[in-house]
């Protein structure tokens, strides 16, 4: 095939897309888009997982050996993840091929140009909020497409193909990926310090969030979490006004898109949703926690702006099953509860633990946490120690490095050393399972937290705990 320049590529003319790192949650969503468009899709990933097996069943050809000879010869577009190391054999070969190469974020930006885009941004809550937004809108008569950062149980997928002009995407701040998006509606959930290996400091990160918000199309809307409104300073407000971008607050008792009358009952969080002071619906959310109620108010705010049917949504919201690894109930018995969550930042950990405490105030809480990234662990050592101290019993796993090389002096033991009043165990995957087997009769409320490969122990823990409940 004749080599084309990157700028000459047209998505609709692409026939065979190759994904380097196809098993990533964001990469696989785009791969599914191309496959559903009847394009040929192939790729490489380091490890065969449940997700990559599913992709293969959907007709994608994937190999797991780092070998440039296994790259198909007829590809005409390459999509890669920044997590791929520079010295990766296939990455070196693809760069030398002359074929057009795109970051995942670039492709998402290209795809979004064909839709009226709703972009959900923030250092926490993107997947939960974008998933709720997609589900609520679809149940309210707006057949959106959606690229999601998790597997939504209702769809058993991280990609939803719709038949409307609207698309929901996660606007990822990592590597400034969201700067490829120019949405009609944007949601700003949180701006806590994170990815400081990318940004250098919090100020630079905040400036980039501001720049993203100003990429909302003129006449569009920006929804801002109530507790962030004070950070939208006069110069930021002026810039929004000059671009004719309307700003709305959302959250629990927010000024505009408001969740009110909040109460926890029967494993759900119940609330009313109001626009201004006008009630739109009452709902019982299956994803517990004040933070998820706030996220739901953002999703419902978007629904108000795009004209979804609130009567239909009120009927369907209780049936929303949630997202894998987002406050995910693995075992739920009267005497034993096991919850798994992707939380990997101190703010997310605090939210998950607080939600579990509200639901089960009398149960002893055991938390198993796997830190994600050496740099994040270094940057938030005290934050991790403080939030994790809320557990009654804590086990730390070794740091999951992902794309990073080890940082001398940074390990899980550093977190433990800051928790002098609480004994902390440090255990690898096998030792975690040995602990579960030994202590199974003493576990009342168990939480596994982290964004690394802690998910590998979930089915094994579930099996052991179910043995206890069936004994």
What is the pLDDT, as a whole number, of residue 233? 96
pLDDT at 222 over 90: yes
pLDDT at 421 over 80: no
* Superfamily in which the 328-470 domain is placed by CATH: Mur ligase, C-terminal domain (3.90.190.20)
As a whole number, mean pLDDT of residues 160-184 equals: 95
**Common-topology check for domains 6-103 and 115-319:** no
What is the pLDDT, as a whole number, of residue 424? 86
pLDDT range class, residue 85, cuts 50, 70, 90? confident
* Superfamily in which the 6-103 domain is placed by CATH: NAD(P)-binding Rossmann-like Domain (3.40.50.720)
Identify which has the larger pLDDT, 83 or 434. 434
- Strands 365-370 and 268-275, how do they pair? unpaired
What is the pLDDT, as a whole number, of residue 174? 87
Among candidate residues 85, 65, 27, the one with its CA nearest the CA of residue 404: 85
Among candidate residues 150, 149, 211, 222, the one with its CA nearest the CA of residue 180: 211
Distance from C-alpha of 23 to C-alpha of 46, rounded to nearest angstrom = 8
What is the pLDDT, as a whole number, of residue 10? 78
pLDDT digits (tens, 9 = 90+) for 331-364: 999 899 999 999 999 999 999 999 999 999 999 9
Among candidate residues 54, 53, 169, the one with its CA nearest the CA of residue 106: 169
pLDDT at 380 over 90: yes
Given a contact cutoff of 8 angstroms between Cβ atoms, the answer to whether 187 and 294 are in contact is: no
As a whole number, mean pLDDT of residues 264-276 equals: 92
Given a contact cutoff of 8 angstroms between Cβ atoms, the answer to whether 301 and 286 are in contact is: no
pLDDT digits (tens, 9 = 90+) for 298-326: 999 999 999 999 999 999 999 999 999 99
* Superfamily in which the 115-319 domain is placed by CATH: Mur-like, catalytic domain (3.40.1190.10)
As a whole number, mean pLDDT of residues 425-439 equals: 95
As a whole number, mean pLDDT of residues 176-201 equals: 91
Among candidate residues 347, 370, 293, 340, the one with its CA nearest the CA of residue 132: 293
pLDDT range class, residue 195, cuts 50, 70, 90? confident
Among candidate residues 237, 242, 238, 224, the one with its CA nearest the CA of residue 185: 224
pLDDT digits (tens, 9 = 90+) for 224-249: 999 999 999 999 999 999 999 999 99
Mean pLDDT of the chain: 94
Domain segments of the chain: what residues?
6-103, 115-319, 328-470
pLDDT at 124 over 50: yes
Distance from C-alpha of 1 to C-alpha of 157, rounded to nearest angstrom = 33
pLDDT at 2 over 70: no
pLDDT range class, residue 12, cuts 50, 70, 90? confident
Q: What share of the chain has pLDDT > 70, as a percent?
A: 97
- Please identify which residue in the block is written with the tokens 């050996």: 65
Strands (E), 286-422: 328-332, 337-341, 365-370, 393-396
As a whole number, mean pLDDT of residues 439-461 equals: 95
Among candidate residues 113, 109, 131, the one with its CA nearest the CA of residue 187: 131
- Please identify which residue in the block is written with the tokens 């701040």: 173
Distance from C-alpha of 243 to C-alpha of 361, rounded to nearest angstrom = 48
């Amino acid at each position: 095939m004749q080599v084309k320049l990157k700028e000459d590529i047209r998505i609709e003319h692409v026939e065979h897309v190759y994904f380097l790192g196809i098993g990533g949650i964001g990469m696989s969503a785009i791969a599914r888009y191309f496959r559903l468009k009847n394009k040929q899709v192939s790729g490489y990933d380091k490890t065969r997982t449940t997700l990559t097996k599913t992709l293969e069943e959907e007709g994608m050809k994937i190999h797991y050996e780092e070998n440039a000879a296994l790259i198909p010869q007829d590809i005409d577009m390459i999509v890669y993840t920044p997590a791929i190391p520079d010295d990766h054999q296939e990455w070196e070969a693809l760069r030398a091929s002359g074929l057009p190469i795109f970051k995942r974020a670039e492709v998402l930006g290209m795809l979004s140009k064909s839709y009226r885009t709703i972009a959900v941004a923030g250092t926490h809550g993107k997947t939960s909020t974008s998933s709720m937004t997609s589900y609520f809108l679809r149940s309210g008569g707006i057949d959106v497409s959606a690229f999601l950062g998790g597997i939504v149980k209702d769809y058993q997928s991280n990609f939803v193909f719709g038949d409307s002009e609207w698309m929901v995407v996660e606007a990822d701040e990592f590597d400034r990926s969201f700067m490829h998006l120019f949405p009609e509606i944007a949601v700003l959930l949180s701006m806590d310090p994170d990815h400081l290996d990318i940004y250098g400091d919090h100020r630079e990160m905040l400036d980039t969030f501001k720049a993203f918000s100003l990429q909302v199309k003129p006449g569009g809307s920006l929804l801002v979490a109530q507790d962030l409104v004070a950070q939208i300073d006069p110069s930021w407000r002026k810039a929004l006004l000059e671009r004719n971008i309307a700003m709305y607050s959302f959250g629990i008792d927010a000024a505009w898109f408001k969740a009110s009358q909040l109460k926890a009952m029967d494993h759900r969080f119940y609330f009313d949703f109001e626009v201004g002071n006008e009630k739109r619906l009452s709902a019982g959310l299956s994803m517990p926690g004040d933070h998820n109620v706030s996220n739901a108010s953002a999703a419902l705010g978007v629904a108000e702006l795009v004209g979804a049917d609130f009567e239909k949504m009120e009927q369907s919201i209780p049936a929303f099953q949630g997202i894998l690894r987002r406050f995910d109930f693995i075992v739920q018995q009267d005497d034993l509860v096991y919850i798994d969550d992707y939380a990997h930042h101190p703010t997310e950990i605090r939210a998950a633990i607080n939600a579990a405490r509200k639901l089960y105030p009398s149960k002893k809480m055991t938390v198993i946490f796997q830190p994600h990234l050496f740099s994040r662990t270094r940057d938030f050592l005290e934050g991790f120690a403080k939030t994790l101290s809320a557990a009654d019993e804590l086990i730390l796993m070794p740091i999951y490095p992902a794309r990073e090389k080890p940082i001398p002096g940074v390990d899980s033991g550093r977190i433990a050393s800051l928790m002098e009043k609480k004994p902390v165990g440090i255990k690898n995957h096998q030792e975690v399972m040995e602990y579960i087997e030994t202590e199974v009769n003493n576990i009342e409320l168990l939480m596994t937290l982290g964004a690394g490969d802690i998910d590998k122990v979930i089915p094994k823990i579930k099996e052991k705990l179910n043995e206890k409940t069936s004994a």
